[in-house]
Each structure stands twice: as structure tokens, then as C-alpha cells.
């Protein structure tokens, strides 16, 4: 039996490859349609991915006395397998450890349960999500419109605006609209684009070279990464 994350074998991973933010109760691998828990679940390398899905819908999972199955496959708080145990024994282990018994794979046969501090788990997950949101930087794309016959004063003003956007961490879409027969002289627009890049080269890199789309020539500039610039300038040993 083979498994993969690429989506080539849908039977082995029917949901995770297609829906990375799927509900936790459905995000687990099936084991060749047999209804058994997939052995990959118990591998440390994939548990982190699976737990992200569990966290998305943890409130819907049964725990402790809510679990009515006669037998369950138990995983302890350290991720070690304890095997298939009667539900009464599993509950006793949870009580002895001062933890909750949470059914994390209800569709498996037998269902898979894990010993965990449920309240602490939910608190840590919420804390991680807040930290991720706090560290996320939303990159927007600003637009600067030029023309094939732009004057020097205008291009200077546009360049200053682009520099301000780039220094603020935003990308810049530079566009030129060809009017009338200007479309037959695209080299003029390309020269304007190249001149514009020269004016902002200290803070920008060309992410997408100028391309003609209909009657527009479009180029995308991105903020220059100081760390990458330092690595490129560092002398090779």
C-alpha cells in the first residue's frame, strides 16, 4: 500500500490534498477504503499537518463519557500508540493522567482517540493563530500609470510615488496604455518602462518584465529584499 501528499492517489488521501482547510473530522487519510485508521497518522512527520485540520473543528469531536464505542485505538499525550483498548480502560488511563480522552478520528474502525489536556490544547491553538495573524503582512499592489509620451516632470512624480509604495512593502503595477497608432510603436513604451526601472532600482526589483496585454503594457515591481541583496554582494570564499 502506498501513500502520498501529491494528490495522485486520491484513495489514500481523498480530502487533505484538495482541501487544506477542511474540517478536522474529515481530514484524515483513509486506508484503502477498509475503514481502518491509516498507519501514516501515527508518523511524526505527518501529525503536524493532521493536527492543523483537527484544530479547525475540534469542538465537534466527542470526548470522555460522550464516547460510546466499545473499543478505541489510543494515542497517549506524547504521540505513542497504546493499541486498541476497551473504552473503560481508555477512560481510566485518561483519568489517571488527569487528561481528556478525545475522539480525533471517529470514522476509523476502531475510532482513534488521543489523551490530551483539551482546554490547554484549545488555548495554545488560539494563541498560535493570534500570533500568526499578528505576524502576517498584507501585501497590496499599487498601480502607477505612465504613457508613451510622458513628460519628465510627470515621470519623476510617478517614480517618487512608486518608491513610497515600495518602501511601504507594497508591490507596484506599472502600466502604459497605447492610444491610437501608438500600439505599432511598442518599443517606445518599453523604453519608458526601462527608464522607470532605472529611477526606482534602489528599492525595487522587476518581478514581471513588461508584457503587452491588448493595448496595455504591464510590468510588476516588488520591494527589494535587503537580506538577499547582502548575500549577492557578499564575497565568495
Q: Tell me, yes or no, whether 236 lies in a domain.
A: no
pLDDT digit string, tens, across residues 111-121: 999 999 888 88
Q: Tell me, yes or no, whether 231 lies in a domain.
A: no
Q: Kindly state whether residues 45 and 125 are assigned to the same domain.
A: yes
Q: How far apart are CA 86 and CA 74, in angstroms?
A: 10
Give the pLDDT of the chain (237 residues) as one tens digit per residue: 333 333 333 333 333 333 333 333 333 333 333 444 444 444 444 444 444 444 444 556 788 888 888 899 999 888 888 899 998 998 999 898 889 988 888 888 889 999 998 888 888 888 888 888 887 767 788 999 999 999 999 999 999 999 999 998 899 999 999 998 898 889 999 999 999 999 999 999 999 999 999 899 999 999 988 666 555 555 555
Q: Kindly state whether residues 32 and 122 are assigned to the same domain.
A: yes
Q: Kindly state whether residues 98 and 179 are assigned to the same domain.
A: no
pLDDT value of position 188: 92
Helix ranges restricted to H, 33-151: 44-56, 87-97, 118-135
Q: Tell me, yes or no, whether 174 lies in a domain.
A: yes
Q: How far apart are CA 109 and CA 61, in angstroms?
A: 16
By DSSP bridging, strand 216-223 and strand 204-213 are: antiparallel
Q: Kindly state whether residues 129 and 145 are assigned to the same domain.
A: no
Site of grid cell 496585454 = 213
pLDDT value of position 97: 87
Q: How far apart are CA 161 and CA 204, in angstroms?
A: 13
Q: Kindly state whether residues 68 and 112 are assigned to the same domain.
A: yes
pLDDT value of position 109: 87
Expressed as residue numbers, the domain containing 49 is 24-134
Neighbours of 54 (CB within 10 A): 21
Q: Kindly state whether residues 110 and 204 are assigned to the same domain.
A: no
pLDDT value of position 231: 54
The sheet that has 71-75: what strands, in order across it? 81-86, 71-75, 112-116, 100-105
Q: Tell me, yes or no, whether 2 lies in a domain.
A: no
Q: Kindly state whether residues 80 and 119 are assigned to the same domain.
A: yes
Q: Tell me, what CATH number does 169's domain have?
A: 3.30.110.10
pLDDT value of position 199: 93
Q: Tell me, what CATH number does 113's domain have?
A: 3.10.20.80
pLDDT value of position 234: 53
pLDDT value of position 106: 87
Site of grid cell 518599453 = 190
Q: How far apart are CA 201 and CA 199, in angstroms?
A: 6
Q: Kindly state whether residues 43 and 115 are assigned to the same domain.
A: yes
pLDDT digit string, tens, across residues 19-54: 333 333 333 333 333 444 444 444 444 444 444 444
Q: Tell me, yes or no, whether 15 lies in a domain.
A: no
How many domains is the chain partitioned into structurally?
2
Amino acid at each position: 500500500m502506498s501513500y502520498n501528499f501529491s494528490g495522485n492517489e486520491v484513495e489514500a488521501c481523498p480530502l487533505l490534498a484538495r482541501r487544506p482547510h477542511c474540517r478536522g473530522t474529515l481530514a484524515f487519510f483513509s486506508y484503502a477504503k477498509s475503514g481502518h485508521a491509516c498507519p501514516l497518522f501515527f508518523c511524526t512527520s505527518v501529525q503536524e499537518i493532521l493536527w492543523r485540520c483537527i484544530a479547525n473543528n475540534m469542538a465537534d469531536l466527542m470526548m470522555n463519557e460522550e464516547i460510546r464505542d466499545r473499543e478505541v485505538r489510543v494515542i497517549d499525550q506524547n504521540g505513542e500508540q497504546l493499541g486498541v483498548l476497551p473504552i473503560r480502560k481508555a477512560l481510566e488511563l485518561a483519568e489517571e493522567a488527569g487528561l481528556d480522552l478525545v475522539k480525533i478520528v471517529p470514522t476509523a474502525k476502531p475510532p482513534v482517540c488521543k489523551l490530551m489536556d483539551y482546554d490547554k490544547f484549545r488555548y495554545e491553538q488560539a494563541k498560535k493563530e493570534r500570533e500568526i495573524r499578528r505576524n502576517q503582512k498584507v501585501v497590496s499592489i499599487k498601480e502607477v500609470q505612465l504613457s508613451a509620451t510622458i513628460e519628465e516632470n510627470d515621470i519623476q512624480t510617478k517614480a517618487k510615488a512608486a518608491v513610497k509604495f515600495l518602501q511601504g512593502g507594497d508591490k507596484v503595477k506599472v502600466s502604459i496604455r497605447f492610444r491610437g497608432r501608438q500600439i505599432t510603436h511598442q518599443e517606445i513604451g518599453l523604453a519608458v518602462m526601462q527608464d522607470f526601472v532605472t529611477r526606482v532600482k534602489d528599492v525595487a526589483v522587476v518581478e514581471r518584465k513588461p508584457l503587452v496585454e491588448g493595448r496595455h503594457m504591464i510590468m510588476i515591481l516588488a520591494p527589494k529584499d535587503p537580506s538577499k541583496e547582502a548575500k549577492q554582494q557578499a564575497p565568495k570564499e
